[in-house]
Amino acid sequence: MEDNWKGIKEALTSTCQEVLGLKKHHHKEWVSIETLDKIKERKNKKAAINNSRTRAEKIQAQAEYIEANKQVKKSSRADKKMYVEELATTVEKATREGNIKQLYNTTKKLAGKYSKPERPVKDKEGKPITEIQQQWNKWVEYFEKLLNRPAPPDIETAHTDLPIDVNPPTTEEIRMAGHQTNQERGSTRT
């Protein structure tokens, strides 16, 4: 049974890989191919840690992983720095040429995502509260006031029985509906 399952599993996975291909991992546009190779190497080092059988092997694999991780971070920082410098050069060139569209798009890329600054919590007089503990206390007070209200009054449910005819339609009703539909079609054609 186990051998049959392994055979079926291998057949399915190999067929799926051939037909569908492997999932493509999307990475930042500034990550270089060398950094991607280092990331793969780091991933292999991580697998070596998990597959090590003795403590000595595990310690050795962890040391190799730590070194590979440092290399990935170093390479990634260098790639990002080079990318930002290229964008800055593009901004300078667009400024000299007066290309506002390129200047705007590149500046937007450089700036990254913008998030609104936090609005300060204010006390009853409208003055901002700067102390974290006072802000917490103000939120506690707000939610206690909001959530500790009396229960709403019991409202009777609405009468839901409506006078709807649930009997099957008669032949006369069907004939009238067909006649009415034909009249509507005729009026839209003219």
pLDDT (tens digit, 9 = 90+) per residue, 61-100? 999 999 999 999 999 999 999 999 999 999 999 999 999 9
pLDDT (tens digit, 9 = 90+) per residue, 9-55? 888 888 777 777 766 667 788 889 999 999 999 999 999 999 989 99
Report the predicted TM-score, pTM, of the whole model to 2 decimal places.
0.47
Locate 118 and state its tokens.
Answer: 């936090």
DSSP character at residue 122: B
Asked whether 88 and 80 are in contact (CB, 8 A), the reply is no
Return the CA Rg of the chain: 35
Locate 6 and state its tokens.
Answer: 């392994």
CA separation for the pair 143, 176 (Å, rounded): 61
- Mean pLDDT (the chain) is 85
Q: How many helices (H) and strands (E) does the chain have?
A: 6, 0
Locate 58 and state its tokens.
Answer: 């595990």
Domain boundaries, the chain: 25-111, 117-147
CA separation for the pair 121, 123 (Å, rounded): 7
Biggest alpha carbon–alpha carbon distance for the chain: 91
Q: What CA dihedral angle connects 19, 22, 27 and 33, to 10 degrees?
A: -100
